[in-house]
Structure 1
Amino acid sequence: MITPKQILNIAAYAGDIILSNGGEIYRTEDTISRICQAYGMKYVQSLVTPTGIFISIDDGDGGSETIVRRIHSREINLTKISKVNDFSRSLQTEVLKHQAAMEELASIEYGNPKSKLTLGLFLISFGVSMNVILMNENYINIIPAILASLGAQIAVKKMGFLKDINFIPEIVAGFIAGSISLFSLQQGLGDNLAIIVVSGILPFVPGVAITNSIRDAISGDLISSTSRSIEAALIAISLAVGVALSLGVFY
């Protein structure tokens, strides 16, 4: 027999994965409710903010539990969000035991990627370089755009503990992308510095954060909407600062 505390652990873990990987507030709360109700909890109350999860459940027979989980870091991984969504819905038809459920969530969080890291970074860089075509610029700018984006992403991945400090990765990414863009232009690999720089920093532009802030505002989650909007603005400023530093040093 699964206990209310174990149900809370499963729901909080699932919510943690969604919120830590760029999920919206409403999606996190909906997933938590689905999981708790699948295990027979009659009353479920959850309060989710961008940095914390608060859940209280009651089975109607006096068995109530509350849990608080702090969210320390966030990234963007829509695949993990999709898998947790599928997991919560599968519980409606087949309820898993506590250990099995926790192991499945752990496999979602820590599962090995299907492709190598370097290949993934290259594909991202190639994708953002297509911005050159969208902006109707000379195709000669595609190669330096790929190099700028790839260099910035590799630099951030290799930063170690510094990448966990807010806004430092974005400043470094902007600096590396700006430096590579300027060097490529000086070597004759491109003819439009602006388009190369923009393409180089595109992987770090907080598009998901901006979208989520709007979605949260529509849902009435004004605290989350405001905090996400401010975070997105600070990320954009950090990218600009990094690019400005590179141009100030090398231009």
Structure 2
Amino acid sequence: MHDQSNGNIEITQICLLAGKIMLASGAETYRVEDTMMRIADAYGYENSHSYVTPTGIIFAIDGAVSTTRLFRIATRSTDLQKVTLVNDISRAITRGELSPEEAYEKLKRVDNANLAYPVWLQIVAAAISSGCFAIMFRGTWPDFLPALIAGGIGFVSFIYVHRLIPIKFFAEFMAATIIGLTSYFCYQTGLGNELDKIIISAVMPLVPGLVITNAVRDLMAGHLVSGLSKGAEAFLTAFAIGAGIAFVMSIY
């Protein structure tokens, strides 16, 4: 009985680690729960239960001793490559290709890996996408450059303000304010023709598209708590962006 308990605890740790990586990397709630239960089932524990919210995971295996675990998710980001790697490991487990020890080591490597793109590349991508959005929103080609400049500066401010003050709402508000000021300056100096197109294009890298998508998918899957909480998070981000732009427009 003692050995079985230790085995259950080990499998619980594997499931929790997989769920933690996926949830912290932007995966949907139902996908996290499904992956954890599939891993437990692959190792011979068919009756497992998982309850996932955007800020925590609870996981238990029926009949096991002291295996109900709670894991707190403090920070969340978007890293779909880690989600893909965990999915690959989960599929290998279900095919019987990985022992518990091998699976846990692979998951630890994924968890510790820094797979994010360099900051300079993120800034360049945000700037170029802002310029491209200006054209996509039927702006004129003279609006491409000011949108590119405003989008790049706004994303830089978001990254570094968030490092100084780890409150996402404040960082988004400041980034939107700087985007509004930069866009207005470019418009006044004759670099752009349509101020509204420049501003809308420049704030697009800040828009929480993945959060909105996951909120809708969780609601459709019946995860009401997660869906509503992610929807509230997306609303706060949209409000911060709108408030920052409105603050600049109210000045000028």
Out of 26, 29, 39, the residue aligned to residue 30 of structure 2 is: 26
Residue 106 of structure 2 corresponds to residue 96 of structure 1: no
Deviations, residues 179-212 of structure 1 (Å, cap 9, x unaligned): 2111211222111111111111111112112211
Out of 235, 238, 241, the residue aligned to residue 236 of structure 1 is: 238
What is the percent sequence identity of the aligned residues?
35
Deviations, residues 130-175 of structure 1 (Å, cap 9, x unaligned): 1122222111111111111111211122225445324122112211
RMSD: 2.1
- Residues 233 and 40 of structure 1: CA distance in aligned 2, closer, same or farther (over 3 Å): same
Q: Any stretches of 5+ residues in structure 2 without a counterpart?
A: none
Structure 2 counterpart of 1:74: 76
- Residues 106 and 203 of structure 1: CA distance in aligned 2, closer, same or farther (over 3 Å): farther
Structure 2 counterpart of 1:45: 49
1 CA distance for matches of 2:207 and 2:174? Answer: 13
Secondary structure in 1 aligned to 2:94?
A: coil
Secondary structure in 2 aligned to 1:40?
A: coil
Matching of residues 222-233 of structure 1 within 5 Å: 222-233=224-235
Q: Any stretches of 5+ residues in structure 1 without a counterpart?
A: none
Q: TM-score, normalised by structure 2?
A: 0.89
Cα deviation for residue 114 of structure 1 reads 7.4
Matching of residues 1-251 of structure 1 within 5 Å: 3-58=7-62, 62-63=64-65, 65-93=67-95, 94-98=97-101, 100-113=102-115, 115-159=117-161, 161-162=163-164, 164-249=166-251, 251=252
2 CA distance for matches of 1:234 and 1:127? Answer: 23
Contact (CA 8 Å) 2:169, 2:236: kept in 1 or not?
yes
Q: TM-score, normalised by structure 1?
A: 0.89
Contact (CA 8 Å) 1:149, 1:177: kept in 2 or not?
yes
1 CA distance for matches of 2:113 and 2:73? Answer: 20
1 CA distance for matches of 2:119 and 2:11? Answer: 35
Aligned residues: 247
2 CA distance for matches of 1:109 and 1:145? Answer: 36
Secondary structure in 2 aligned to 1:22?
A: coil
2 CA distance for matches of 1:132 and 1:159? Answer: 25
2 CA distance for matches of 1:198 and 1:180? Answer: 13
2 CA distance for matches of 1:110 and 1:126? Answer: 30
1 CA distance for matches of 2:99 and 2:200? Answer: 47
Deviations, residues 69-115 of structure 1 (Å, cap 9, x unaligned): 111222222222122111211112312343x4344223323424475
- Residues 116 and 16 of structure 1: CA distance in aligned 2, closer, same or farther (over 3 Å): same
- Residues 228 and 185 of structure 1: CA distance in aligned 2, closer, same or farther (over 3 Å): same
- Residues 214 and 114 of structure 1: CA distance in aligned 2, closer, same or farther (over 3 Å): closer
- Residues 196 and 27 of structure 1: CA distance in aligned 2, closer, same or farther (over 3 Å): same
Cα deviation for residue 246 of structure 1 reads 3.0
Contact (CA 8 Å) 1:38, 1:95: kept in 2 or not?
no
List, as ranges, runs of 4+ consecutive aligned residues in structure 1 with deviation greater than 6 Å.
Answer: none
2 CA distance for matches of 1:186 and 1:86? Answer: 52
Secondary structure in 2 aligned to 1:190?
A: coil
- Residues 105 and 179 of structure 1: CA distance in aligned 2, closer, same or farther (over 3 Å): farther
Contact (CA 8 Å) 2:126, 2:155: kept in 1 or not?
no
